[in-house]
């Protein structure tokens, strides 16, 4: 509110000056500088532009460029920066060159951005410059130059994003040992955020070094026994089928049922997973867990009877209705998880002949969210096949690539059945 009042005062002051035909350079300069310091970059830009137009002092165009850049108006900022450089013949001016670098990067003109940044580095050999220039070298596949700058930046900041770039360079240059050693060193010294922890586990798994991953994440958990760190260690233990150790850790967090749920799913103990998801739904009233309760219940059944299928369908439909209310309430959009639930329900209604037409409608909803999903395309084709609409089923199924059909037994089975359909 205070910011709005101050901005209003600025504009009123400007209006008074203009209406009285009494331009005061000092007044405008004071008000523009004040607006910039308050973070009102739009007012600062307008003030400095007025100063430039009235005085033709090119330094005011530069200040207007800096203000425009701070408010995210790079188009205006770049025009004013070029105006300043063309007028002064000073192509080494640091602030305007930084503006032009940002502009070139936004435009995707990496070579121009690199050229300018190399000049900037001669004047300002700073960590931020090294990071940006190293990243641009990386995008151009100039790995040696990129590594030198990013390694310098990482060693002084221990930044996870820079770490990720260094790992990428090692892997690209086919040096997984160096990548793994760097990753281990970072994890042992600094731990990891959620994103890096998950990425690290994937790397350990890919390089078949789960034993070391267990030691490192055991240490991370011991140093900070949080739910998140417990989850990472449980994943690693479960991947080695050390379920007893994993469950012992999960049970240290009795109020967090998600850990046990994930552990049951990893063990394919879907009956226990269904019950656990149901308990979470009762506590949190999150429709996602009602849907998961239904899906895990289905997966726990070897030969489900029609009444069991109908019960599961009812749970899923209830979940979908509750989710629709949630979307309206929180002003969200349907996401890939919603699409998965729609397709699961739709395919189940189709495959078990519970309500094929309704099933098709649910599958269509899933495809509206994710039209590229081959599984959902298959479900739709299977629905029309079940209705006896062979031509429609064949037309839809024909959009699935042959290599995908041959790679998945269920797709291959559906392909044969639909292909033989003569109705």
Cβ atoms within 10 A of the Cβ of 115, count? 13
**Tokens 């449980």 appear where?**
234
Residue 248 located in a structural domain: yes
* Residues 154-194: tens digit of each pLDDT: 999 999 999 999 999 999 999 999 999 999 999 999 999 99
Residues 188-205, mean pLDDT to the nearest whole number: 95
The answer to the question of residue 206 being in a domain is yes
| Mean pLDDT in residue range 282-289 | 95
Res 134 pLDDT > 60: yes
Q: Does 406 map to a domain?
A: no
Helical segments of 173-305, H only: 176-190, 194-206, 210-223, 227-239, 243-250, 257-266, 270-284, 287-300
Q: Which residues contact 181 (CB under 8 A, 6 or more apart)?
A: none
Q: Considering the domain boundaries, does residue 250 fall inside one?
A: yes
Q: Which domain holds residue 90?
A: 1-103
- Report how many domains make up the chain: 2
Instruction: Summarize pLDDT for 9-27 with one digit per residue, the tens.
Output: 444 444 444 444 456 888 8
Rounded Cα distance, 412 and 324, in Å: 35
Judgement on whether residues 99 and 1 belong to the same structural domain of the protein: yes
Tell me the C-alpha distance between 362 and 356, whole Å.
10
pLDDT above 70: residue 198:
yes
Q: What is the pLDDT of residue 22?
A: 57
The answer to the question of residue 224 being in a domain is: yes
Looking at 240, 267, 294, the residue that finishes a domain is 267
Q: What does the mean pLDDT of the chain come to?
A: 91
Residue 41 φ/ψ, nearest 5 degrees: -70, -30
For residue 8, is pLDDT > 50?
A: no
1 and 97 part of one domain: yes
Residue ending a domain, among 226, 245, 267, is: 267
Helix ranges (DSSP H) in 209-256? 210-223, 227-239, 243-250
CA 11 remoteness from chain centre: 40
**Percentage of the chain modeled with pLDDT above 90:** 79
Q: What would the two tokens of residue 391 be?
A: 């031509």
The last residue of a domain, from among 103, 135, 161: 103
What SS3 class is residue 383? helix
Has residue 311 been placed in a domain? no
Q: What is the pLDDT of residues 334-347, one digit of tens each?
A: 999 999 999 999 99
Q: What is the pLDDT of residue 212?
A: 96
Residue 374 domain-assigned (yes or no): no
CATH code for the domain in which residue 92 is found: 1.25.40.10
CATH number for 258:
1.25.40
Regarding pTM above 0.75, the answer is no
Structure tokens at 65: 């460029």
Q: What is the dihedral of CA 267, 270, 274, 277, to 10 degrees?
A: 30
Please choose, from the candidates 7, 3, 5, 10, the residue with its C-alpha nearest in 3D space to the C-alpha of residue 29.
10
pLDDT at 254 over 90: no
**313 belongs to a structural domain:** no
> Above pLDDT 70, what percent of the chain?
94
Q: What is the pLDDT of residue 24?
A: 85
């Amino acid at each position: 509110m205070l910011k709005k009042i101050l901005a209003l005062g600025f504009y009123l002051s400007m209006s008074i000056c203009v209406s009285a035909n009494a331009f005061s350079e000092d007044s405008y300069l004071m008000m523009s500088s004040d607006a910039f310091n308050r973070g009102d970059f739009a007012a600062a830009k307008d003030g400095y532009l007025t100063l430039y137009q009235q005085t033709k002092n090119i330094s005011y165009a530069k200040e207007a460029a800096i203000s425009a850049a701070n408010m995210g108006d790079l188009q205006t900022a770049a025009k004013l920066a070029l105006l300043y450089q063309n007028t002064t013949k000073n192509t080494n001016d640091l602030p305007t060159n930084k503006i032009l670098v940002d502009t070139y990067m936004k435009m995707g003109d990496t070579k121009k951005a690199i050229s300018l940044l190399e000049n900037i580095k001669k004047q300002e050999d700073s960590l931020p410059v090294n990071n940006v220039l190293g990243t641009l070298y990386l995008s151009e596949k100039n790995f040696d130059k990129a590594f030198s700058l990013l390694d310098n930046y990482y060693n002084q900041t221990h930044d996870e994003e820079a770490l990720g770039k260094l790992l990428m360079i090692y892997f690209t240059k086919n040096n997984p040992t160096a990548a793994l050693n760097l990753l281990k060193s970072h994890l042992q010294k600094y731990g990891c955020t959620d994103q890096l922890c998950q990425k690290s586990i994937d790397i350990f798994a890919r390089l078949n070094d789960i034993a070391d991953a267990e030691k490192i994440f055991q240490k991370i958990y011991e140093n900070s026994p949080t739910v998140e760190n417990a989850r990472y260690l449980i994943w690693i233990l479960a991947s080695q089928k050390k379920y007893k150790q994993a469950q012992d850790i999960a049970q240290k967090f009795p109020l967090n049922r998600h850990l046990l749920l994930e552990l049951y799913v990893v063990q394919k103990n879907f009956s226990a997973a269904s019950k656990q998801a149901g308990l979470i739904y009762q506590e949190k009233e999150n429709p996602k867990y009602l849907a998961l309760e239904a899906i895990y219940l289905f997966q726990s059944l070897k030969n489900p009877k029609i009444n069991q299928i109908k019960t599961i369908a009812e749970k899923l439909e209830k979940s979908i209705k509750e989710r629709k209310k949630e979307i309206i309430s929180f002003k969200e959009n349907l996401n890939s998880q919603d699409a998965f639930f729609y397709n699961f329900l739709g395919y189940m209604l189709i495959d078990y002949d519970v309500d094929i037409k309704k099933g098709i409608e649910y599958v269509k909803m899933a495809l509206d969210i994710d039209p590229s999903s081959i599984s959902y395309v298959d479900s739709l084709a299977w629905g029309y096949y079940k209705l006896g609409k062979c031509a429609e089923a064949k037309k839809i199924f024909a959009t699935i690539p042959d290599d995908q059909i041959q790679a998945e037994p269920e797709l291959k089975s559906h392909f044969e059945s639909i292909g033989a359909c003569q109705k």
